[in-house]
Amino acid sequence: MKKLSFALLSLGSLSAAAVFGQTSPAATLAPITVTGNLLGATDLIAPVAQYAGAELLFRTQSTLGETLDGTPGISSTYFGPNASRPIIRGLDGDRIRILNNGGAVVDASSLSYDHAVTVDPLSIERIEVLRGPGALQYGGSAVGGVVNVIDNRIPREAMFDANGGITGKVDVGLTSGNDEQGGGFLLEGGTDRYALHADVFNRTSGDVSVPVTLACSKPGAASSANKICNSASDTRGAAVGGSVFFKQGYLGASVSSFQSDYGTVAEDAVTIGMKSDRYALEGEVRDLSGWFQRVKGQLGHSVYQHTEYEGATAGTVFKNNGTDLRLEARHAPLGAFDGVLGLQSDTSRFSADGEEAFAPYSQTRQTALFAYEELATGWGRLSAGARLESVNVESLGNPVLARFAPASRSFTPGSYALGALWNVVPGWQLSTNWAYTQRAPKDYELFADGAHLATHTYEVGNANLALEQSSNLDLGVNWRHGAHRFGVSAFVNQFNNYIAQEATGNSRADLPEYAYTQVQARFTGLEASGSVRLLDSGQTLDLELRGDLVHAVNLSTGQPLPRIAPARAGATLLWAQGPWIARLGASHSTAQTDVPSGQLGTEAYTLWHASLGYRVKAGAANLLWFAKLDNLSDTLAYSASSILTQTAAGKAPLPGRSVKVGLQVSF
């Protein structure tokens, strides 16, 4: 890896040197929010968070979940440093839709907490998070929200004129807390008629340092150390893509590959070898005459496999192959109405072979029609959306496990949403979103029957599950005056038949038995964020504030729902002068004692963080030297939203003090 880091630095220097002599500088495109913004509005009705550029660089962690953790309303599943999905407003798993450029990410991360998302933050240019009812246009399974990971592997706009040009980016970094060495290289070139893209990344890390001594039985490792046992990883990937531009649009394609080998942390000797390949085709035709003004299409196919190893011996093998299609057509205005009609189709085929095959071979097909309309008014906008789906979930049994029998269920979910944005007075906006959503049960919720060692349970599905139905409402207030801003949102999600895992009181295979059942549930919460400009005279100083809380209860039993983050608050000072930028902040999590009977709570903690960056221009290249310090006080902390807090108590705390230094070169 040291050779790779040196090679990337050298390549970055050579590429930067090569571009210094060019007379046609690369165009810079201002990022716009695309997720949930089908009509290109500047003010969105649904709550959206977006990270890009230096802001994304300074918050990037080793997983998608940890990168977004701390955003108001967002926590993470944290299964150690290598596997973590976002939790939005207390909802996780298949209630959160993870997308790549608007297309489905096909993996097995929602099946089990130890399965990583097949996206690495090193390859990301922008992340957009759509929270609440507005997410239904991406499926009933997006009742919690949507996380859209955006790259430019299929360029959508020409970046150069007819003379052509080349642009790129190099990232290298070293991290002390886990001895991580990482690097990425991106190169794009073309003219006004075509564009080509290539990127590659690699990240290798050792076991993560923590402020407590932990036991370890992994062969070849120390029997005890201030490290999370079996938390090392090796992740790499690459992609190529390109687009052809014509007068009214573009057509592009890409091929990408992602591989990761990592320890599962819950079991000292178990590692996972994961590989995913994705093929994507995308195009758009604009400025059409007639009833449709714009038509956009996306087609993707993913091939995913991961193998769980005990030592050097291959154990359970999980496979998931999927194809997704999405078509959107923007119609001509109908009076004051403007809108989009769409078709979405997803097909996936899943299999698990080995000791931990707790779900059968299965095939899921779903097709949906959706519509989204907006009405502009003198005081703001109104929106309405509807989605009708046809879902078939089929158990194909298992060729060697007789307990899995062929079976099939079909569902017809329907979801509907309304929204409003009111410009009260200059600088003040009120927004509200309401949705009624239906979600079809997943294959494992219907047909699971086996030991799931990662969660230390024996899972039992329920083939008689009905559609999961919920009513969702959020209200928001936003204020902006110059550099000052503030926003607060309140939400409530009421489920008539929430699909939950409930302990049966029985034991199977020396594990507690948990069965999928449907209960009434309610999630309520608040999210707030703001920024105050404290100094603005040759230098700027801003104070950013944030906070959130979620309360989730099983109304059928009166018990709290598990794995809910406690109330949290944070503050960060941001200073900038000339080429310098600096941040100093803290994030506080209160104690979580509102847990189901028999489960462990977590203590309160405060994590301090700091970062420093220096920008310098070298010819046509922009260099950003940076350093960031996480968990400055080396505080011992445990995540209330991690299953490990219950199943492997004390085994996987949050990472301790760590320093990362790096360089980003853009040209």
Pairing mode of beta strands 414-425, 428-439: antiparallel
pLDDT, position 137: 78
Decide if pLDDT at 549 tops 90: yes
pLDDT, position 479: 97
Predicted confidence (pLDDT) per residue in 23-49, tens digit:
333 334 445 677 777 777 777 787 788
**Tokens standing for 582?**
């600096």
Judged by average pLDDT, the poorest of 48-57, 128-137, 314-323 is: 128-137
The domain locations on the chain are: 2-666
Which of 581, 578, 600 minimizes the C-alpha distance to 591? 600
Query: Which one-letter DSSP state was computed for residue 91?
Result: B
- Mean pLDDT confidence for 511-532: 96
Predicted confidence (pLDDT) per residue in 451-500, tens digit:
998 888 999 999 999 999 999 999 999 999 999 999 999 999 999 999 99
Rounded-to-integer distance, Cα 328 and Cα 370, Å: 9
Decide if pLDDT at 145 tops 70: yes
Residue owning tokens 């052509």: 164
- Mean pLDDT confidence for 213-235: 95
Predicted confidence (pLDDT) per residue in 358-395, tens digit:
999 999 999 999 999 999 999 999 999 999 999 999 99
Residue 352 has a CB neighbour count (10 Å cut-off) of: 24
pLDDT, position 615: 96
Q: What are phi and psi of 34, to 5 degrees?
A: -115, -30
Rounded-to-integer distance, Cα 318 and Cα 320, Å: 7
322 torsion bin: left (phi>0), alpha (psi -120 to 50), beta (else):
beta
265 torsion bin: left (phi>0), alpha (psi -120 to 50), beta (else):
left
CATH code linked to domain 2-666: 2.40.170.20
Question: Residue 6: pLDDT band by 50, 70, 90 thresholds?
Answer: very low
pLDDT, position 311: 85
pLDDT, position 17: 32
Predicted confidence (pLDDT) per residue in 167-221, tens digit:
999 999 999 999 999 999 999 999 999 999 999 999 999 999 999 999 999 998 9
| Sheet architecture: strand order including 145-150 | 48-52, 126-131, 145-150, 96-100, 103-104
Q: How many CA atoms lie within 13 A of 421 on its CB side?
A: 20
Rounded-to-integer distance, Cα 624 and Cα 614, Å: 6
